[in-house]
Amino acid sequence: MIVDGGSSDEVVFPEHQAVISRTATWYRLEEKSVVAWTMFSWERLEPFILVHQFLTTVWYVDVIGDQVHPFMSTLFPAGYCHVQQDNAPCHTAKIVKDWFEEHDGELEEPREPPCKLRLVSKLTTGGSIGVYIGLLEKCKSSNEALQILIRMSDSLRFQEEDLGSVVKKLCEHFQQEGEAAVRTKILSLLGSISQERGAEPQSPATSLSQPERRRVSPPRGLQVTHRKAVLPVSLDFIPNILDDIVHLLKKEESHKVIAQGISSLLTIGKLLSSNTDVHQKLVSVAKQVLTYLLFYFVYSVCDIHFVSSWLLTVHSLVGREHGSSFTQLEFIHFQYLTDTSHAVKCRCLELLGDLLPVSGASAPDLATAQATLHLIGDYGHCDEPRVRSAAFKAMMTLHERGVKLDAVIYCEVCAALRDDYEIVRQEALKLVWVLGQTYPENIVVLPDSKEEVRLVDDAFGKICNAMNDLSMDVRVLAAEKLGTVTAVSPKFLHQTLDKKLMSNMRKKRSAHELSWQNMTSGEWSSGKKWADDVPREMVDADSVDLMSSGSCGAFVQGLEDEFLEVRSATVDAVCKLSLDNPQFAVMALDFLVDMFNDEIEDVRLMAIDSLTKISRHIELREDQLETILGALKDFSVMVREGLHRMLAACCLGSKDCLQMCVDALVDNLKKYPVDRVSTWNCLQKLGQSHAEMTLYLVPQLLNIHPFFDTPEPDVENPASPAQVSFCRLGNGSRDRPGLGLAIQGKGCDVSILVLVFSAAEKCPTMIQLFEQHTLKHYSYLRDTMPHLVPHLKVPGSSAPTELRPQQRNTAQFLDGILARIECAPSERVRRELMEASRRDLARLAVIDGTIPGALRFSALHLDSQLLMADLLANRLWSHPSALAMQQGSVVRGSITKLLTQCLKLQYLFVGLNAEDLSSVKQLKLKALALQLVYIVRGSNSSALALCDHFLKQVDDTQRYLSESGLRPEPFTAALFRELGQQEDAKPGPVVQSLLPLLLASTLSPPPRANTAIRSSSAVINEPTGNVDTPLKFTAGLVVGVVLNSELRHLGDAGMLRVRVCYPDQQAHLSMIRARDLHPCPDDPSRVRLLSTLLLSHQQVWTEACTVDVSLGVDVSGVERGLTRTLGRRGREDPWLLELCEPVKVCLSPKHIKRGI
């Protein structure tokens, strides 16, 4: 829910203490606003009361009388209060005043209420800059001018004709202005003006590719009229602006203004350079202007000899062939690079980086580029850190734009890694990384030892060192970069996980090595002895390098960092590096497992996901598995499911591992029954990948004794884990209660059976081991959970022949049915066919798992068609007299149902192709037409909004059809024709023309079968719908309920809502926060919803009552016209398309203890 700023606050002062009561408007579901009222003080919090009407004076008096007055008199019995209010209309109404008169002495309203604070409203006239320009001329002080300029930049909108004069006026003002801040603002405005103009004429595709363009373009009308005419003009204008800016800068002395001027030039320059392909000609114009200007500029201002020498070089260049694009710009930099202010220098370097020509492959171009690069490099030694940083950044930009950096600079850049300032270190780090990636094989000689190493290794070591940096940002950057250095030698890589432990000068094994050793020596139980981690051999004091150990332990350090940003970046880096390096993956495993114990859940999840990714390289040992399984007990569903995925993907070392794993999973299932599905999936995968190991374990798992029959466990044993899982197994068990009970009774967990059966597919010998009841279980499970239990060749074939789903057949069947409908000889036959196939398809969608989406879609489509036909046939809807009678409500209900079904077709299915969608749209159009006719003819409510909506939909459908090149159905075609002739858009005439069309319309065949269609659905895992144990909470407060659900094939997540239906027939919708939706990593169509639902008892009931929670797609936002006219009703809201059956939650409010 989004809370809009409170509309009204009142403060009541009972002698020195403040009580604040507050009415707030809650914007819920974008459209509907809800008014709420509450009071709070230091002592007490009153409940939040929702007001189901608009704030009126009557209601206000009620609140004052029923809520405020008792509240005040209980809290402050002797108190004498003043009410301070804000003069809102309802506070000053007569009845309110009367009430205060009546209760004089209890609550007193001040005689002269304080005035409401008024903010100066913004100028909104015209919205064009032209208006402001006029104001600018009139303003007297600099401050005023600045205000106006700020407003101008806020509403950057103007007519093309004005542009020239606007720029001119701005320039004039610039020259008169004494205040540097105002001049700066003018320059920035000039920059953004040209950006606005320059970007607009482009085609939408190109403008999308320019992320820097933030401003909203002018209203549509404007854009359309200008689109053709303005195109060349506006870009032509830009050189003029450039010209102006350069001109203005000439006499400027303030560093700030110059810096802004250069950055404006940069924005314009970027604009021009990115447009080179499209507007070659314009650019060359711009270039010429620039050339002329800059020469003038440089000659007149500079007398520095080195600039003139540069000038000569470029002069010759320009003379030869127009100069390379924007070489001229560099002059600005040479001029201004010599400025003493760091800001100016930074801007210049940025400009150089962004605009230096690199595209031309001609030798002089490249030579200039290299020379400039060198020059920029020199600024890496500047005494101002910001300039140093800008210089490195410019080098980086140039590198990205294609100027190759020279490996020679490596040493210099490395020196910058020790800079005092983190901004410099960051940029230098990026450069080191780039150099490492570009010249991996170059040889670097280490300064002290004369040893030669590859450049990439050295760079890797340097970046590793940055993991010890003082600044967190640098550490994060270093960790991120480390992950991408895949070319590093294994020797260096492996060091990152080795800290070279020692204790009192003796070499020490890390806990990981210890456990490995214990493992291999067969002595597996540690921790019992005091000091079993005693250090072993002595370390030679000289051989220990504490500091300059390069990459040594970099990741260990990063994983232990104080900041989660660093830790998660490190986990990510370790994962990335492990992907290509199996050996490193094995080493990293222990460290990643350690991260399961991190204090931040995101980091834990990340570690688990990383482990899943690298699982193909590793084989888990028992000790490692033990730690991993420990994390299974985690309370967070995400962590547990992540672990299930991880376990499913990994490779276990021995059969003991498998045993441990199965035990842990079963235990876990006992504790968290919600994890049923993901545990079974995990066990299925485990069984498939570890078939041989499972074979050894079958006797233990299934409790088979080699010689004896084991006694049957007690059937009614409630502690049996299977019972828990079987209760939830689904409705399947109802069909065969006997068998279900038998499995329960055996105490044999479904989980284990899933594992064993999955393994048996790979390892048929296992089947011989199964006892008779196991085989029975097999056939039962195979029937209920075909996706988890594979087909086995059971000997003796005691199992019933099973229905094997045959995908091709279903699709063909569907095709056949639809084809038959399409080529039905007559309307009557078609109708009959449709009736028959609707039933068939609906049933098939339930029993066939291959293409349920397509089946459901077709069935629903047919159903809607038939419903429509029924409605049209009885003609009731067009006769007002008939509607007034009993049938009226039936008709209304049917029409609403029809509309809902159309909306379902449109919004609850994904993967619709153009044909499907157009068919759905046309069907909806028909339904809307019917609705409109009904409203106009059969009821007295206003149809204006509905008609408007209908026309919009017609427009939309027409556009859609023409865009996708499909032919409209006869009804739609006729509709377009009729409405095209229609001039008046009032409901009456529209209905007049619709009526004959509707009467003449026929059934249209459903679209061809499209197997890509998937239907959206949701399963609520939590709350579980168990109403036996009510949730107790204090009355007047809210209670949080965990909502855990899995959504499949969700269309637009923004339309997803949770609906809570209260026993008093009220329904509340709430939006889902985007961060509560977690897409499933291995299947993007599945989305996991984890959220806390806030429920209250609304102060209307006091007993334990059930509340229904369901998920749905809310279409009221997109189909606004419909909702507005037809309204929405609590429980049977036609505009909320349900995704799942509601789940019951039992709430039991407890009494508030009075007199705390």
Partner 1 sequence: MLDIKVTPLGAGQDVGRSCILLSMGGKNIMLDCGMHMGFNDERRFPDFSYIAPDGPANNYIDCVIISHFHLDHCGALPYFTEVFGYSGPIYMTHPTKAIAPILLEDMRKVAVEKKGDSNFFTSQNIKDCMKKVITVTLHQSVMVDSKLEIKAYYAGHVLGAAMFWIRVGSQSVVYTGDYNMTPDRHLGAAWIDKCRPNILISESTYATTIRDSKRCRERDFLKKIHECIDRGGKVLIPVFALGRAQELCILLETYWERMNLKVPVYFGTGLTEKANNYYKMFITWTNQKIRKTFVQRNMFDFKHIKPFDKSYIDNPGAMVVFASPGMLHAGLSLHIFKKWAPNENNMVIMPGFCVVGTVGHKILNGIKRIEFEGRQFVEVKMSVQYMSFSAHADAKGIMQLIQYCEPKNVLLVHGEAAKMEFLKTKIEKEFDLKCYMPANGETCIIKSDINIPVSVSLRLLKEEAKKSNMLPPDPKRQRIIHGVLVSRDVSMCLMDVDEACKEAGINRHTIRFTSTLRLEDPGPATKTAEKLVQLMNTRLKDLPILFTDFTISVESVIVKVEASDDDQKTVYVSWDNQDEELGSHILEILKSVGN
Contact positions vs partner 1 (CB under 8 A)? 304, 306, 337-340, 375, 378-379, 381-383, 420, 468, 470, 499-505, 508, 510-512, 527-531, 541, 544-548, 553, 556, 559-564, 591, 594-595, 597-600, 626-627, 630, 633-636
CA dihedral over 699, 700, 705, 711, signed as positive or negative: negative
In angstroms, what is the minimal distance from the CB of 635 to partner 1?
A: 4
In angstroms, what is the minimal distance from the CB of 338 to partner 1?
A: 5
543/772 with CB nearer partner 1:
543
In angstroms, what is the minimal distance from the CB of 530 to partner 1?
A: 5
11/1090 with CB nearer partner 1:
1090
**In the numeric block, which tokens belong to residue 631?**
């994390």
- Which residues, in sequence order, are CB contacts of 284 under 8 Å at separation 6+? 322
In angstroms, what is the minimal distance from the CB of 333 to partner 1?
A: 11
Question: Do 35 and 54 form a contact (C-beta atoms < 8 A)?
Answer: yes
In angstroms, what is the minimal distance from the CB of 354 to partner 1?
A: 19
Distance CA 503, CA 190 (A): 66
Distances (CA, A) of 482 to 414, 430, 571, 573, 1046: 16, 11, 11, 6, 36
In angstroms, what is the minimal distance from the CB of 627 to partner 1?
A: 6
In angstroms, what is the minimal distance from the CB of 868 to partner 1?
A: 53
Q: Is 669 exposed, middle or buried (0-12, 13-18, 19+ CB in 10 A)?
A: buried
598/1133 with CB nearer partner 1:
598
In angstroms, what is the minimal distance from the CB of 524 to partner 1?
A: 14
**In the numeric block, which tokens belong to residue 324?**
């390379």
Distance CA 820, CA 1097 (A): 54
Distance CA 439, CA 408 (A): 11
**In the numeric block, which tokens belong to residue 866?**
């038939």
193/466 with CB nearer partner 1:
466
Polymer length in residues for the chain? 1156
In angstroms, what is the minimal distance from the CB of 535 to partner 1?
A: 9
470/823 with CB nearer partner 1:
470
In angstroms, what is the minimal distance from the CB of 935 to partner 1?
A: 50
3-state secondary structure 609-677: HHHHHCHHHCEECHHHHHHHHHHHHCCCHHHHHHHHHHHHHCEECCHHHHHHHHHHHHHHHHHCHHHHH
Distance CA 890, CA 884 (A): 11
Tokens 């456990």 sit on residue: 515
Q: Is 1138 exposed, middle or buried (0-12, 13-18, 19+ CB in 10 A)?
A: middle
Question: Do 241 and 193 form a contact (C-beta atoms < 8 A)?
Answer: yes
In angstroms, what is the minimal distance from the CB of 289 to partner 1?
A: 28
Distance CA 691, CA 689 (A): 6
In angstroms, what is the minimal distance from the CB of 611 to partner 1?
A: 15
Distance CA 1137, CA 1141 (A): 11
304/1100 with CB nearer partner 1:
304
In angstroms, what is the minimal distance from the CB of 470 to partner 1?
A: 6
296/563 with CB nearer partner 1:
563
In angstroms, what is the minimal distance from the CB of 371 to partner 1?
A: 11
Phi-psi group of 114: left, alpha or beta (phi > 0 → left; psi -120 to 50 → alpha; rest → beta): beta
CA atoms within a 13 Å half-sphere pointing along the CA-CB vector of 487: 16
143/503 with CB nearer partner 1:
503
In angstroms, what is the minimal distance from the CB of 590 to partner 1?
A: 8
100/421 with CB nearer partner 1:
421
Q: Is 777 exposed, middle or buried (0-12, 13-18, 19+ CB in 10 A)?
A: buried
Distance CA 102, CA 80 (A): 15
- Which residues, in sequence order, are CB contacts of 644 under 8 Å at separation 6+? 665, 675, 678, 679, 681, 682
559/902 with CB nearer partner 1:
559
Distance CA 537, CA 1138 (A): 70
Distance CA 338, CA 345 (A): 8
535/1030 with CB nearer partner 1:
535
Binning the chain into helix, strand and coil, the percentages to the nearest 5 are 60, 10, 30
Distance CA 664, CA 845 (A): 37
285/502 with CB nearer partner 1:
502
489/597 with CB nearer partner 1:
597
78/546 with CB nearer partner 1:
546
Distances (CA, A) of 470 to 1, 418, 562, 583: 42, 11, 12, 31
Beginning with the edge strand found earlier in the chain, give each strand of the sheet holding 1039-1048 in spatial order. 1017-1022, 1039-1048, 1086-1095, 1077-1079
3-state DSSP assignment of residue 429 = helix
In angstroms, what is the minimal distance from the CB of 375 to partner 1?
A: 6
569/923 with CB nearer partner 1:
569
In angstroms, what is the minimal distance from the CB of 596 to partner 1?
A: 8
Distance CA 950, CA 192 (A): 41
Q: Fill in the amino acid letter for 399.
A: H
310/813 with CB nearer partner 1:
310
Determine the distance from the C-alpha atom of residue 754 to the mean position of all C-alpha atoms in its chain, rounded to a whole number.
Answer: 35
54/635 with CB nearer partner 1:
635
209/597 with CB nearer partner 1:
597
In angstroms, what is the minimal distance from the CB of 147 to partner 1?
A: 34
